[in-house]
Structure 1
Amino acid sequence: MKVEQIYTGCLAHAAYYIESNGEAAVFDPLREVQPYIDRAQKDDAEIKYVFETHFHADFVSGHLDLRKKAGSEIVFGPGAKPAYEAIIAKDGQVFEIGDYKVKVIHTPGHTMESTTYLLIDENNKEHGLITGDTLFIGDVGRPDLAQHVVSDLTEEKLAGHLYDSLRNKILPLNDDLIVYPNHGAGSACGKMMSKETTDTLGNQKKTNYALRADMTKEEFIKELLTGLTAPPGYFPQNVLMNIRGYESLDSILDRATKSLSPEEFEVVANETGALMLDTRDAEDFAKGFIPNSINIGLEGSFAQWVGEMIPDVKQEILLITYPGKEEEAITRLSRVGYDNTVGYLKGGFSSWNESRKDFETVTRVTSSDLEKSYKTQKPLLFDVRKKSEYDSEHVLGAINVPLNEINNHLAQFPKDKPLILHCAGGYRSMIAASILKQRGWVDIADVIGGFEEIKETSVPKSEYICPTTLL
């Protein structure tokens, strides 16, 4: 049985495609569905079903557009209550795709409608499990998301359901089944996912902390909830979009791909209050950017950081991109529900610069520059990495304010002193610098290459780099 994993690294997301005898199925598709349609056409197949493992929080699924464009039937697991037509499957129900079968296994816990799909090949042999966010490689789905939509679904209740689902529905299955999860490392839907994106169930039984045979329910709940960070603010909004429905991506692209001259761009920005989002890389942004714009680079984990840093998915957005990257940026915004792009700067920042309009810059310093100033001036150094990164190793005296928490801790950044920011490699610290600039901070510098470069300086590690064990 051939199962094609379609992995999107910037979201750490995996969709799946299977085909048999001219019939195909897609599991947990992204918002832009044409690649799935093209894949089925290559097989001269029709996409019979689009299976959803649950109402996703970290992206807007493409099930509605697949139904519209390919005539596919949408399938959810037991208990799902979408606001549109769909098949609500029963536990144990079997669907046929050519000579293949897909068996529904209801596995509540991540959410109450969470469902795993057992794949059965043409010889009636069980092949693998599409696990959604129920079981990852090295982890299981976090149980604290549904309470942001339904308040009485506490994380403790859901964790208990997940324990039962794993013990009663997943662990009894054959060890040679291949596990096909919805996410890999980098997703906020778990806390310690592996970089590997498939594994055998037997190996997961041996290595996944959450599948230990001797673990009690109480131990499971405690371990699962320990160390969970707050989910990104856009998650509940994406869940509601997946439940209630959403506008077609084609309509969004038609509305958003509106090129604006520098003069028109400035007028729209002033009249609408739209957020100006610059998607260029950190180096180019630092050399010159439109005042009050923020930087989230398209080449990084763009959609995830947009979701972290822009609280409202309904926020109107004006784009500054490299020429030719406009549609990609609009699409990637829509993957996480930001559907209100109102236009983009024609010609990118170069056209703004050529029009002789005002712009700002961000100072960038090397790790050697930081070393010299650190020894003599002791500047205020802010580390915007995650707390776990900071706790593992950091510069002595650096103040840790994780990027996703910066809006809640602006008071920690004095405006009357020079500030130096760093992250691991320079992507996140430029986002932080742009936000502070937008909020009125002036004297800000960013460390080129971030902590990875800082570690390569000649300063003795005993003086400069501080593992947690030495604190």
Structure 2
Amino acid sequence: MKIKQFEDKFLSHYSYAILSECESKMILIDPARDPKPYYDYAIENNAEIIGIIETHPHADFVSSHLEIHKQASSPIYASKLTRPDYPFLSFDEGDVLEIGKIRLRALNTPGHSPDSICIVLEHEGIDKALFSGDTLFIGDCGRPDLRESGGDVNAERMHLASQMYHSLRDQLMKLSDDVVLYPAHGAGTLCGKALSEANSSTMGEEKKTNWSLKEMTEQEFVKELTSNQPFIPAYFPYDVALNKKGAADFQPSVAQVAISEGNPEEQENIWIIDSRKDTEFKAAHQQHSVNIMEGTKFETWLGSIISPEEPFYLKAKDEATLKALIARTASIGYEGQIKGAYFAGGGELKMEALDLQDFRNDTGKYTIVDVRNESEVKEHKIFKDSIPIPLGELRDRIDEIPNGKPIAVHCAGGYRSAAASSMIEAEKKGKVPVFDIGEAIKQFS
């Protein structure tokens, strides 16, 4: 038996292949959008993919389950509570899949979502591993507020949090301490708030160290789980719906994006997502551009600033980077929204650098905008009179920023402030100077 873990470091996503060496058969769990790594692993081991298990319809990435189902003629297994549009076989409490000496046992574990399942792997009759999806993470558990739509959303959040309390205690904590834990996400995901950097653990270790498995009342658990959760990007509900439907095949979909050298034609109602370094962007960029730099959080901020199904242009420093970013855009299901992709272009606009000495001498001469998350501001507000608007909300709240004084924008390290300052500059249309404090914020914090 082999367990292969695959990682998408940009979305902090883990997927898995479970290989029966004696039968040369393989089952996948929560595959990412690009199926090629799984096909390559199957070829490498001369194995047949005989099934794909979805622990729930994911909010933060798009799965390739439907494409693999079609290409490999492999059934998709999911909880019947998912009610997907694609053909599937129900995999719920009491259901078992067997390959060789491996038995995969389904557990219904609502909490992160009503339809979440976990999978226990038995080998030669002994529980060996738990594939916990977004139910149990290393150091944390899944948030309960990503499926709220209509009705009393607070009641739904509280109901799911209560279900999570019981799923963890009535199901997962009953597993042996030596069972290895394989979650669907690690540190950096927005599906939880306190995840470890580790990529696996044991149930024994989690029982000792994971806050969500500590002894506490249900009321105490619900209060903790529903407090201080990170923001929810705009693309999350869209990806849930897309995963319930099943996404288009990856390679043909990204191949349809037109790539050109130069600059896109400027249109006021279509944003240009410029992924170049902030220094290059500030030196020369186009009107109506947002500087979402190529980096580990590109997908998150793209899917937070640009709405699902909203067209945009994508711009990068070179063709290779552009192609990589198109593929990353597809990982959240946004590739069909790219109106055109361009590389090596600059622009006629320039953003002036902030005079740090002048700013330091009298910050009151500036309107300071803090685009960090609410929890970050609450923990430490850097400038007493700053206007706090999280980057994920900025596009809808720019009118709250007055035009009377020059605007200086900051986050915690410069990445978010580059995007925010460029967006504010585009929306203010020259009515007021806009500056990015950038990495210099570290001198004040």
Normalised by the length of structure 2, the TM-score is 0.92
Give the conservation status (yes or no) of the 8 Å contact 1:384–1:432.
yes
Aligned to 2:275: 279
Secondary structure at 2:81 match in 1: coil
Give the conservation status (yes or no) of the 8 Å contact 2:67–2:247.
no
**Equivalences for 1:155-170 in 2 at 5 Å?**
155-170=157-172
**Equivalences for 1:52-451 in 2 at 5 Å?**
52-121=54-123, 123-148=124-149, 154-213=156-215, 215-256=216-257, 258-260=258-260, 262=262, 265-266=264-265, 270=267, 273-311=269-307, 313-323=308-318, 324-338=320-334, 339-345=336-342, 347-349=343-345, 353=346, 359-365=348-354, 369-376=355-362, 378=364, 379-397=366-384, 398-442=386-430, 443-451=433-441
Aligned to 1:468: none
Greater CA drift, 128-137 or 443-452: 443-452
Secondary structure at 2:419 match in 1: helix
Is 1:20 the counterpart of 2:20? The answer is yes
1:24 aligned partner, one-letter code: M
The CA distance in 1 between the partners of 2:220 and 2:8, in whole Å, is: 34
Greater CA drift, 143-152 or 28-37: 143-152
Q: CA deviation at 1:42?
A: 0.9
The CA distance in 2 between the partners of 1:191 and 1:151, in whole Å, is: 23
The CA distance in 2 between the partners of 1:418 and 1:137, in whole Å, is: 44
Residues 1:363 and 1:195: Cα distance change in structure 2 (over 3 Å) = farther
- Number of residue-to-residue matches in the alignment: 436
Residues 1:337 and 1:386: Cα distance change in structure 2 (over 3 Å) = same
Secondary structure at 2:10 match in 1: helix
The CA distance in 2 between the partners of 1:83 and 1:150, in whole Å, is: 24
Q: CA deviation at 1:371?
A: 4.8
Q: CA deviation at 1:54?
A: 0.3
Q: CA deviation at 1:119?
A: 1.4
The CA distance in 1 between the partners of 2:296 and 2:282, in whole Å, is: 16
Secondary structure at 1:193 match in 2: coil
Is 1:5 the counterpart of 2:13? The answer is no
Give the conservation status (yes or no) of the 8 Å contact 1:78–1:91.
no
Greater CA drift, 377-386 or 81-90: 377-386
The CA distance in 2 between the partners of 1:396 and 1:262, in whole Å, is: 40
The CA distance in 2 between the partners of 1:216 and 1:53, in whole Å, is: 27
Q: CA deviation at 1:333?
A: 1.2
Greater CA drift, 394-403 or 202-211: 394-403
The CA distance in 2 between the partners of 1:16 and 1:363, in whole Å, is: 47
Residues 1:78 and 1:91: Cα distance change in structure 2 (over 3 Å) = farther
Aligned to 1:47: 49
Q: CA deviation at 1:450?
A: 4.4
The CA distance in 1 between the partners of 2:373 and 2:147, in whole Å, is: 24
Give the conservation status (yes or no) of the 8 Å contact 1:17–1:25.
yes
Q: CA deviation at 1:394?
A: 4.1
1:127 aligned partner, one-letter code: K
Q: Which runs of 5+ in 2 are unaligned?
A: none
Q: Deviations over 1:287-338 (max 9, x none)?
A: 1111112121122301111111112x21122211122222211111121121
The CA distance in 2 between the partners of 1:348 and 1:139, in whole Å, is: 42
The CA distance in 2 between the partners of 1:230 and 1:259, in whole Å, is: 33
Q: CA deviation at 1:400?
A: 2.6
1:447 aligned partner, one-letter code: I
Secondary structure at 1:250 match in 2: helix
The CA distance in 2 between the partners of 1:438 and 1:377, in whole Å, is: 23
The CA distance in 2 between the partners of 1:178 and 1:168, in whole Å, is: 18
Normalised by the length of structure 1, the TM-score is 0.87
Give the conservation status (yes or no) of the 8 Å contact 1:102–1:118.
yes
The CA distance in 2 between the partners of 1:305 and 1:91, in whole Å, is: 37
Give the conservation status (yes or no) of the 8 Å contact 1:364–1:446.
yes
Q: CA deviation at 1:250?
A: 2.5
Give the conservation status (yes or no) of the 8 Å contact 2:286–2:349.
yes
Q: Which runs of 5+ in 1 are unaligned?
A: 456-464, 466-471
Give the conservation status (yes or no) of the 8 Å contact 1:401–1:409.
yes
Q: Deviations over 1:373-406 (max 9, x none)?
A: 2224633332222232233334333433221121
The CA distance in 2 between the partners of 1:412 and 1:401, in whole Å, is: 9
CA-based RMSD of the aligned residues comes to: 2.2
Give aligned-pair identity as a percent.
33
Give the conservation status (yes or no) of the 8 Å contact 1:31–1:61.
yes
